[in-house]
Structure 1
Amino acid sequence: MEPAVSLAVCALLFLLWVRVKGLEFVLIHQRWVFVCLFLLPLSLIFDIYYYVRAWVVFKLSSAPRLHEQRVRDIQKQVREWKEQGSKTFMCTGRPGWLTVSLRVGKYKKTHKNIMINLMDILEVDTKKQIVRVEPLVTMGQVTALLTSIGWTLPVLPELDDLTVGGLIMGTGIESSSHRYGLFQHICTAYELVLADGSFVRCTPMENSDLFYAVPWSCGTLGFLVAAEIRIIPAKKYIKLRFEPVRGLEAICDKFTRESQQPENHFVEGLLYSLHEAVIMTGVMTDEAEPSKLNSIGNYYKPWFFKHVENYLKTNREGLEYIPLRHYYHRHTRSIFWELQDIIPFGNNPIFRYLFGWMVPPKISLLKLTQGETLRKLYEQHHVVQDMLVPMKCLPQALHTFHNDIHVYPIWLCPFILPSQPGLVHPKGDEAELYVDIGAYGEPRVKHFEARSCMRQLEKFVRSVHGFQMLYADCYMDREEFWEMFDGSLYHRLRKQLGCQDAFPEVYDKICKAARLAGPPQPLPKSTQRGPCAWRRHFRVESCLGLGQVGKAHLWPARKCHCHHWLPEASQGHTLAAKAHSTHPRFGSPWCLDVVLGVPGALGALRRRRNHSYPFGLWRGHKIRNLIFLLVCKACELWH
C-alpha cells in the first residue's frame, strides 16, 4: 500500500508542477520529463505490437492473400480520384508525424490522401535470394525475421523505424555500402500503382526507365505497393576493429584505403573533431573469442558512439565481436547521438540499468509531441543533414562542414555509386566511390543562421557533383536543385505517365522554399491599427508562470502559435507586439496585447479562441507588466 501512496503523491506533485510551469514550458525546457514518463513507455508498446503482429502475419502466411486485395483498394481510390475530376494532387494517407524525416509535410492537408495499409513481409525466397516486402515494412521487422532464419540484407540502414518505401523513394545507406551501393542498388523489382490506377512491375529488364527513375523520386511517379530485395547469407557476429587516427590527412587516407579493401564487409568512421577520428572495419564471422564478445545492443550497455570515443581517449586500438543484429542497430538506442540532447543523462549507468530497456523513444512520437515552438527552435538551432560527396573531395568537405556548421561527432560512411540512369549518378561513365557525411546536432559556429549556412553547404556539394539526402530541409531554389540532380529521365517519365496533374514535382515536396512559397496572407481587419502601412511583424514569446520569467524569443513572424495575428509596425507609428504568458492563478495559456505609445493602455487580455477577459485580472502584477513593457520597448528600439 505504501509504494502505491508514494507513487500517487509523486504523480500529484508532478501534475502540480506542470500546472504551475505550464505544459509548453515543460515540453520545451524540461523535455526529458515528458519523454521519460510518457514517450518511452508508449514507444515500447508500439514496438511490441508491431513485432508480434509481423511475426503472427508471417507465420500464418496471411500477408500474400491480403496484399492483392489491398492493392486493388489502392487502385480503386486512385480511379475514384480521377472520376471526381483530379482536382488536387495525390499523396499517401500516412500521417506526416509517422515518418522518420524531421520535415513537416504540410502538403498532406491539401492533397488527396490515398490510404496505403501495406506493412507486411510477403515472402522470403532463399533459392532466388529475394525477400518481397510491402513499403511500410521497417528495418526492425526485416532484421528480426531474416537474422532468425540465417539471412540478411546486403545494405541494412541503421534505424529500426526506417521503412522500405522511404528508403526506396528517398535513399538509404549502411557501412556495407562501399561494396553494394545505396539501398536502391540491392532492389531487383518494384511494383507500383500509377496515376491512372493501373498496376505495373518494373525491373532492370522490364520497364527499366521507371525502375531507375523511382529511387529519390519521393512518391511523385506512383504509389509503391511492393519491392523485391536481394538477401545474402548471414553470420552470427561482426569482427570489428577500432583504430583511432589523428590528423585530417591521415584520417582521410586511412578511411579511403579501408573503403577500397574488398575484404572489409563494413567500413565506418566517427569524426570527433576535425583532427580526431576512429575508423572501424568489420567482417562477418561465425566464431568469436568469448573474452572479446560485446553485445553492444543490450539496454544496459553504453551508447555506441560513447563506447567508440573511449578508444580515442585512451589512444588504443581494439577488437570486438558484436552480434550481427546488435551491430546493424548499434546507433539506434541513442538515435546516433541525438538522444543526448533530449535525455542529457541517458548514457548514465544508473539510467541505462533502470530505464534503458525502453530506449529509444520513437522518432514519430517525438515529432507528434514537438509543437510549433520547439520545431522552430530546432529548425534554427539544430542540424540534421547527410551530404554525399566524392571520396576524393573528403578533406575539402570536412573543412567546409567544420567552418560552416561545426557539428561533432560526424558520421562517415563510404558507398559505391554505379553509373546508372536516374536522379543520382556519378559525373563520369564509371562507378565512383562516394562518402556520406552525416552531421546531427547543435551547430557551434558563432551567429549560426540556418538558411545562409545551409545554402553555403549546398553550394559546395553542388560544386563537387555531390548530393543532399532529401529527408531533411534543403534551401536550394528550383534551378539549383536540378543542377544537383539529373532530372532528364524523371521529367520525361512524369509527362509520359501523366504524373504532372497527379503528383507534385519532387522539388515541391522536399524543398523548404517551395513548401513555404505562395501569396502572402492578408492581415485581418481587426488587427489594422490606423491608416499606416504595416511593414514588419514581431513575436515576443515568453514562458511565464506564477511570477517566474523564462526565456524570451524574438523573431519576425506572421502568426503566433496560438493563432492570433500580429499587427506590423512602421517607423513613427505604434508598435504592437504579443507576449505569451499563463494566467497567474490557473496556469492556462493567455495572449497579452502590449501596445506602446498609447498612454495608460496595455490592451486587452484575450484567452485562446478569442474569449475576452478584462485586464483587471492582472492587477497586482506590476512587475510582470513592467517586464512586458521592457521587452516590447526593446522590440521598438530594435525595429
Structure 2
Amino acid sequence: MMDGRHGRDVEQIRSSISHFYQSKTPFRVYHGSTNSTRHANFQRDAIVDVSSLNHVLHIDVERKTALVEPNVPMDELVQATKRVGLLPPVVMEFPGITVGGGFVGTAGESSSFKHGFFDRTILSAEVILADGRLVTASETSNRDLFHGLRGSFGTLGILTLVELRLIDLKKYVQVTYHPTNSFDSALGKLREETKQAGNEFVDGILFSRTAGVIISGVLTNSPSHQYTVQRFSRPWDPWFYLHAEHIANQNATHIELVPIEDYLFRCDRGAFWMGRYAFKFFMMPWNWFFRLILDYFMHTRIMYHAMHASGHTDKYIIQDIAIPSENTLEFIEFVDSQFGIYPLWLCPLRNDARSSMGHPKVYYSKFDKSEYQGDYVNVGVWAFRPLSEAAYVKANRDLEGKVGELGGLKWLYARIFFTEDEFWKIYDERSYTELRRTWNAMSLPSIWEKMRERPRMQRKEHQSGLRGHVKGFVMRNGFLSGVYGVYKALRGGDYMLAKKN
C-alpha cells in the first residue's frame, strides 16, 4: 500500500538525479543526520535531498511485513510496529540509526547471531539508479542488485523504500548476566549462549582482562514475579554498562526483566560508555546525581551532534570490527597489549556476516587455508584518545593492520586510514565494479571514494572575517571547541549541511 506523498517525493528525487546525470555533475545524497564519525560537509547546490523519506507507509499484520522509507529511525520504527503487536528482528542499539543506514551500511545487534545483520531482514528494496530509473530489487527480481546493495553505502543507487519482515512482539526481555574472569571464559560463554535455543539476544562486555559479563536475553510475555523489573531509559535509571559492571563485580549469575524498548535502546544513554569521557573532559563529578541532571546531553542524538560540531571526531578511536571467531582471542589480546582500551563490546554474528560488509574478498582460514565458513564476533573498540594527529593516525593504522591480518572487517561508518591499494586488497574491486557497470552506477562515487579519509573540510565562514577568526580560534582550542559542540547541540538544527552564503 503506497501513499501519494511517497510517489511525489520519489518523482522529485528522480528528477534531481536525472538532472545531475545529464549534466555530468557530481552530487551527494543528503539524509539529514548521520551516525558516522567520518568528516562530512554537504553543499546545497550539489546534493540530492532524500530527508523527506522518513515514514512508515504500511504494516501488514498477517504477513508480518512493513513498508518503510529509508530515513525512518529505529525508535520510530519500533513504536509503529509495537502498535500492531510486532517487532523488527534486529533493532540497532541507537534510536537515531535509520532503516536505510542499517540496510546499505552495516548494522548488527545482539539478535544478529540468530537473525543476521539488519540487511538480512529486508525482503525487497525500491532504488533510484544513477540515471534516474526506478527499480525494485529482491531475491526474485534484480537479485544481483539486491544482494549488492548490502554494504554499498549508496554507491549503486539511491534507496527510497524497503519491505522488511517482522516478528511477534513480547513485552519483556528476561535478561541473564553471566560474569566471566578471563578472555577465554568470556568467549567460551559467548559461544555457549548462542547455541541455547531460547535465546533471542546475546552480547557481552569486557571490563578488564579478568572481569567481564556475557548477557543473554529471552523474549517473554509472562514474566516471573521472582525477578525484578529493571529499566534503563529514564534519567534516574542506571546506565546499562554501569549496571552490567556492578553485576560482573558480584561474580554471580543474575536474572532480571527489562521492558522491550528499554532493552533495545539500553545503550542510548551514555552511548554505551562513551558519555563518561564527556564528564572527564568538562571536569564534571562522576556520580548518579550529575548523570541525572545532565541526562539530556547523554543521549546519542545529542552526542553525535555535539561531536561533529566540535570537531572531536578526531579525538576518539571509534571502530567496530567483525573478526572470525577463530581469531577473536588473538585480536582481543592485541587490543589489550597495544591500547589497553576498556570496556570492549562483544557481539556474536552469524556466518553470513562477511557478505553484508561492503563487498569484501573471501577470507581463508589461517588454520586449514580453506574458505572460512564460521561465525564472527563484533568487537567494539571505542575510547577517547587525546593524541597528536600523527600518533592518532598510527594507532588507527595499527588497528587496521591487525584486523586485516586476522581476516576481519571494519564497519565503514567509522574513519578509515587505509591507502587505496590496501583498501582494494580487502574488498573485491573487480566484482563490485562489474556490478556498478551493470546497473549504470559508475557516475556515483565508489565505496573507496566515499569512505576514504579526508582532511576536515573548512567552511567559508571559517576562513575570513572577524567571525571566521574567532571561530577558528575556538575550534583550535580543545575545551572551547567542546563547549561550542554542546552549544550547537542545544541550539539544534542541521549540522551536516553547509549554510547558504
Normalised TM-score (structure 1):
0.66
1:432 is paired with a residue of what secondary structure?
coil
1:431-510 counterparts in 2 under 5 A?
Answer: 431-443=373-385, 449-500=391-442, 502-510=443-451
Query: Structure 1: how far apart are the matches of 2:405 and 2:392?
Result: 20
Pick aligned residue for 1:325 from 227, 251, 261: 261
Cα offset for 1:134? 0.5
- Is this contact kept in 1: 2:123–2:165, CA < 8 A? yes
1:285 aligned partner: 220
Normalised TM-score (structure 2):
0.83
Residue deviations 1:75-123 (CA, integer Å, cap 9, x gap): 111122234x21x32221345xx211121224x3398311112000011
Cα offset for 1:504? 1.0
- Note the aligned Cα RMSD (angstroms): 3.0
Residue deviations 1:118-140 (CA, integer Å, cap 9, x gap): 00001111222211110100001
Query: Structure 1: how far apart are the matches of 2:362 and 2:169?
Result: 30
Cα offset for 1:295? 2.0
Structure 1 unmatched ranges of 5 or more: 1-60, 519-557, 565-578, 582-586, 588-639
Pick aligned residue for 2:247 from 287, 311, 318: 311
1:90 aligned partner: 27
What is the percent sequence identity of the aligned residues?
25
Query: Structure 1: how far apart are the matches of 2:175 and 2:84?
Result: 23
Query: Structure 1: how far apart are the matches of 2:390 and 2:272?
Result: 23
- Is this contact kept in 2: 1:238–1:284, CA < 8 A? yes
1:178 is paired with a residue of what secondary structure?
helix
Cα offset for 1:364? 4.3
**Cα pair distance change 1:258/1:444, threshold 3 Å:** farther
Pick aligned residue for 2:40 from 97, 100, 105: 105
Residue deviations 1:8-33 (CA, integer Å, cap 9, x gap): xxxxxxxxxxxxxxxxxxxxxxxxxx
Q: What letter is aligned with 1:334? A: G
2:163 is paired with a residue of what secondary structure?
strand
- Is this contact kept in 2: 1:91–1:219, CA < 8 A? no
Q: What letter is aligned with 1:293? A: V
Q: What letter is aligned with 1:498? A: N
Pick aligned residue for 2:270 from 334, 343, 357: 334
Query: Structure 2: how far apart are the matches of 1:450 and 1:355?
Result: 29
1:518-537 counterparts in 2 under 5 A?
Answer: none
**Cα pair distance change 1:100/1:256, threshold 3 Å:** same
Runs of 4+ in 1 over 4 A off after TM superposition: 344-347, 352-355, 419-422, 428-431, 443-448, 558-562
- Is this contact kept in 2: 1:394–1:435, CA < 8 A? yes
Pick aligned residue for 1:366 from 303, 306, 311: 306
Structure 2 unmatched ranges of 5 or more: 364-369, 465-471, 475-479, 481-501
Query: Structure 1: how far apart are the matches of 2:388 and 2:14?
Result: 52
1:12-31 counterparts in 2 under 5 A?
Answer: none
Asked if 1:382 is matched to 2:316, the reply is yes
- Is this contact kept in 1: 2:39–2:456, CA < 8 A? no
Q: What letter is aligned with 1:416? A: R
Q: What letter is aligned with 1:112? A: A
Query: Structure 2: how far apart are the matches of 1:153 and 1:431?
Result: 27
Cα offset for 1:447? 11
Query: Structure 2: how far apart are the matches of 1:403 and 1:444?
Result: 19
2:157 aligned partner: 222
1:137 is paired with a residue of what secondary structure?
coil
**Cα pair distance change 1:300/1:148, threshold 3 Å:** farther
2:91 is paired with a residue of what secondary structure?
coil
Query: Structure 2: how far apart are the matches of 1:559 and 1:182?
Result: 36
- Is this contact kept in 1: 2:317–2:396, CA < 8 A? no
2:3 is paired with a residue of what secondary structure?
helix
Q: What letter is aligned with 2:13? A: I
Cα offset for 1:358? 6.9
**Cα pair distance change 1:230/1:267, threshold 3 Å:** same
Q: What letter is aligned with 1:389? A: I
1:18-417 counterparts in 2 under 5 A?
Answer: 64-83=3-22, 85-86=23-24, 88-95=25-32, 98-106=33-41, 108-109=42-43, 112-116=46-50, 117-290=52-225, 291-344=227-280, 348-354=287-293, 356=295, 359-360=298-299, 362-367=302-307, 369-370=309-310, 374-375=311-312, 378-379=313-314, 381-417=315-351
Cα offset for 1:387? 0.6
Cα offset for 1:152? 0.7
2:350 is paired with a residue of what secondary structure?
strand
Select the structure with the greater relative contact order (CA < 8 A; seq sep ≥ 6). 2
Query: Structure 1: how far apart are the matches of 2:220 and 2:59?
Result: 23
- Is this contact kept in 2: 1:242–1:311, CA < 8 A? yes
Q: What letter is aligned with 1:511? A: R
Residue deviations 1:438-474 (CA, integer Å, cap 9, x gap): 0111249999922212212212212222110001111
Q: What letter is aligned with 1:563? A: Q
2:497 aligned partner: none
- Is this contact kept in 1: 2:361–2:426, CA < 8 A? no
Cα offset for 1:559? 12
- Is this contact kept in 1: 2:322–2:408, CA < 8 A? yes
**Cα pair distance change 1:260/1:449, threshold 3 Å:** farther
Cα offset for 1:300? 1.0
- Is this contact kept in 1: 2:175–2:218, CA < 8 A? yes
Query: Structure 1: how far apart are the matches of 2:386 and 2:214?
Result: 24
- Is this contact kept in 1: 2:204–2:346, CA < 8 A? yes
- Is this contact kept in 1: 2:275–2:298, CA < 8 A? no
Query: Structure 1: how far apart are the matches of 2:8 and 2:71?
Result: 16
Query: Structure 1: how far apart are the matches of 2:135 and 2:7?
Result: 13
Cα offset for 1:517? 12
Query: Structure 1: how far apart are the matches of 2:386 and 2:325?
Result: 25
**Cα pair distance change 1:429/1:132, threshold 3 Å:** farther
**Cα pair distance change 1:137/1:220, threshold 3 Å:** same
Query: Structure 2: how far apart are the matches of 1:312 and 1:447?
Result: 36
Query: Structure 1: how far apart are the matches of 2:461 and 2:382?
Result: 26
